[in-house]
Amino acid sequence: MGRDRIDWVSLKPREAVAQYLRWREAVERADQGDPETLISLFQSEEVLGPEARDLVADLLKRRNLTKTRGGQATPAYRMTPAEGRLHHQAAGVRYWKNKGLSNEAAIRAALRDDKREEFEEEHYLDEEPPATPTDQELDEKVTDAEFQSLENFIAGRRGSSSRIKQRRRS
């Protein structure tokens, strides 16, 4: 539907015309310095038809995308190593929860797995690597701060995690 060109003489298809007008209004506002409507349209399920796509392309050609002064928010497509590690650990928590473990036990198991991987990476090139630590030894290496950090991340209480999850869902 949104891919059909609009027949401007007959103004059909009407739904495509209505969608185009919403995009046109948002582009006009963005051109005047208020990008919020355009941003919310991009984050919605609204169809971006060919005519509206042309409007957005024209706006981006004419506008200079610059950063505002001061500290910049991390873009949704960029992940820090710490975030990457938390996402990896959260996947482990989901795995263990699907296996029937409680939330706390799943977090501990995921952190244990992470410590095991860390150990294996450290000794990857060793000619005679030491014996793999037992689960109890790995559990002792997990700090309360690591447990709390992963627990908060999963619950969306970590400083940037809720914002990042929101951006990635949109």
Q: Where are the domains of the chain?
A: 14-62, 81-169
pTM check: above 0.75: no
pLDDT band for position 165 (cuts 50, 70, 90): low
Q: Which tokens sit at 62?
A: 């004419």
Angle between helices 103-122 and 81-98 (to 10 degrees): 130
Asked if residues 123 and 132 have their Cβ atoms less than 8 Å apart, the reply is: no
How do residues 20-51 score in pLDDT, each as one tens digit? 888 999 999 998 888 899 999 999 888 888 88
How do residues 78-98 score in pLDDT, each as one tens digit? 778 888 899 999 999 999 999
Q: How far apart are CA 105 and CA 111, in angstroms?
A: 10
Asked if residues 113 and 99 have their Cβ atoms less than 8 Å apart, the reply is: no
Q: Which tokens sit at 159?
A: 């400083």
